[in-house]
């Protein structure tokens, strides 16, 4: 039986402690990207020193963004994370746009995309076909939604188990890669194209690197369910990003140790190719199983986090009020969980997530940049509540992260004008919806 101290005044159960929160940061970030994304980055910067610099800079920028989130999380202990910070720093309209983009495209889209990746790697062992793949992808979304429906403790424990498993597997790859890979005739073989790298190439590669770190902010969505959130979330963010950055740099070192740069750049499954080079043809099966394990764990954390934003929006009257309901027994935002599961499943079934997600995901960096600017604005307001953590290097570090976020956004518009413009229009389409919603006298009181 749960004691009264385990449930906060909003009715959500406080059970997430530092190990679980750290596992959420690490497990959400490490999905399938590190097993495929290095090829895209290497293709842009086919130079070993520059390539490693991209991963290190990506990790440092992500850490600064995480520290921005850490201070805001220690200031506003509310479910919703980035939504709450944008709402408090700017206006409910800006917060609404984040939630709007999250639900229709960014968050639901990434759930659908990762579920499809899980299904594709499942087909390595069991032939599925197009329909079978969609059934498996929808099935994994529903299973993980059900696990989170019956309790945040169950969801975080599942996340912790899979994160621990992933880190053990990553450590295994690193140790075995350098140990057995030493028998190969050549190591760290460069490319003749290394001298042709431009600043634009580096920025494009940096964007790809930062997307491999995606999801670092999601732990803030569960603030009301975190024990001592003002200190736990900042520590989880810092430890989590350091662990992920170390893992990513080490894994890329292994890839480059056993494969030439040009091979890494041309590969569509770099981790499997590296495993094949080290242990033979069985490497593909091993890596396919690892990607399934890793994507399942990442999906668990993402499914857990998203509904807390919709729950917070419903509490603020920016979504149907019934979405703010807390299950009387499980103490979870059960209706928001269902809302997310249904739409993510629709995106999988229709295949529409591909176009939506690829066009809108870049705009999340606009909100990250605004979040950093918002931190500076909030520091100047004497009425802002206490905080137990303050970002080091203020105001330079949040300003650097804001500038980096806007540069990333600008780079995407330069390299892909059409899709970036469509993505921004999709996000901005939420503004007329927001103002129409405000005009409804009975908003939030009825179902859809």
Under the banding of pLDDT at 50, 70 and 90, the label for residue 136 is very high
3-state secondary structure of 269: coil
Residue 219: pLDDT band with limits 50, 70, 90:
very high
Q: Please give the model's pTM, rounded to 2 decimal places.
A: 0.89
Per-residue pLDDT for 6 more than 70? no
Reported confidence tier of residue 1, pLDDT bands at 50, 70, 90? very low
pLDDT in tens, 392-412: 999 999 999 999 999 888 888
What does the pLDDT read at residue 104?
93
- Cα separation, 242 vs 213, in Å, equals 11
What is the distance between the alpha carbons of residues 54 and 281, in angstroms, rounded to a whole number?
Answer: 30
pLDDT average, residue stretch 349-363:
81
Spatial distance between the Cα atoms of 142 and 68, rounded to a whole number of angstroms: 33
Band (121; pLDDT cuts 50, 70, 90): confident
> At residue 448, does pLDDT exceed 50?
no
Residues of the chain above pLDDT 70, percent: 94
Q: What is the pLDDT of residue 384?
A: 73
Q: Please state, in angstroms and rounded to a whole number, the distance separating the CA atoms of residues 53 and 36.
A: 18
Is 108 a residue whose pLDDT tops 50? yes
Domains contained in the chain, CATH given:
13-438 (1.20.1740.10)
The DSSP letter of residue 379 is H
Question: Any idea how long the chain is?
Answer: 448
For residue 442, the model assigns a pLDDT of 59
Task: Encode 120-188 in three state secondary structure.
Answer: HHHCCCCCCHHHHHHHHHHHHHHHHHHHHHCCHHHHHHHHHHHHHHHHHHHHHHHHHHHHHHCCCCCCC
Task: Find out whether 222 and 241 touch, Cβ atoms under 8 Å.
Answer: no
**pLDDT exceeds 90 at position 145:** yes
Summarize pLDDT for 372-399 with one digit per residue, the tens: 999 999 998 877 767 788 999 999 999 9
Residue 4 has pLDDT above 80, yes or no: no
Q: Which range has the worst mean pLDDT, 10-14, 66-70, 123-127?
A: 10-14
Give pLDDT, residue 184: 84
Interval 426-431 mean pLDDT: 94
Residue 177 predicted with pLDDT over 70 = yes
């Amino acid at each position: 039986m749960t004691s009264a101290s385990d449930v906060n005044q909003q009715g959500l159960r406080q059970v997430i402690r530092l190990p679980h929160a750290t596992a959420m940061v690490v497990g959400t970030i490490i999905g399938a990207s590190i097993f495929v994304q290095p090829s895209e980055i290497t293709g842009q910067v086919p130079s070993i020193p520059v390539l490693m610099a991209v991963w290190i800079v990506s990790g440092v920028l992500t850490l600064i963004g995480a520290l921005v989130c850490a201070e805001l999380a220690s200031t506003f202990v509310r479910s919703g994370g980035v939504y709450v910070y944008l709402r408090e720093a700017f206006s409910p309209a800006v917060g609404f746009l984040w939630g709007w983009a999250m639900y229709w495209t960014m968050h639901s889209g990434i759930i659908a995309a990762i579920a499809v990746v899980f299904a594709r790697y499942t087909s390595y062992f069991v032939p599925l076909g197009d329909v079978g793949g969609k059934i498996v992808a929808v099935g994994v979304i529903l299973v993980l939604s059900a696990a989170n429906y019956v309790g945040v403790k169950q969801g975080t424990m599942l996340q912790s188990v899979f994160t621990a498993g992933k880190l053990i597997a990553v450590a295994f790859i690193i140790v075995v890669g350098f140990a057995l890979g030493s028998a190969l005739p050549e190591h760290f073989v460069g490319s003749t194209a290394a001298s042709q790298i431009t600043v634009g190439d580096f920025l494009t590669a940096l964007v790809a690197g930062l997307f491999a770190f995606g999801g670092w902010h999601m732990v803030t969505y569960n603030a009301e369910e975190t024990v001592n959130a003002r200190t736990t979330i900042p520590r989880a963010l810092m430890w989590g990003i350091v662990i992920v950055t170390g893992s990513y740099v080490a894994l890329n070192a292994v890839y480059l140790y056993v494969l030439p740069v040009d091979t890494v750049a041309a590969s569509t499954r770099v981790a499997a190719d590296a495993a094949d080079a080290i242990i033979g043809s069985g490497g593909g099966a091993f890596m396919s199983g690892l990607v399934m394990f890793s994507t399942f764990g990442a999906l668990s954390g993402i499914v857990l986090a998203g509904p807390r934003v919709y729950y917070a929006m419903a509490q603020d009257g920016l979504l149907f009020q019934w979405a703010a309901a807390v299950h009387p027994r499980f103490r979870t935002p059960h209706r928001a969980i269902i809302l997310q599961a249904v739409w993510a499943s629709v995106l999988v079934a229709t295949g529409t997530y591909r176009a939506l997600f690829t066009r809108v995901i870049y705009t999340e960096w606009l909100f990250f940049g605004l979040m950093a600017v918002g931190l500076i604005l909030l520091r100047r307001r004497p009425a802002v509540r206490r905080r137990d953590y303050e970002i080091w290097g203020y105001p330079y570090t949040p300003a650097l992260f804001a500038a980096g976020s806007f540069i990333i956004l600008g780079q995407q518009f330069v390299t892909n004008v059409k899709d970036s413009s469509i993505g921004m229009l999709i996000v901005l389409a939420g503004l007329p919806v927001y103002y129409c919603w405000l005009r409804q006298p009975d908003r939030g009181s009825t179902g859809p």
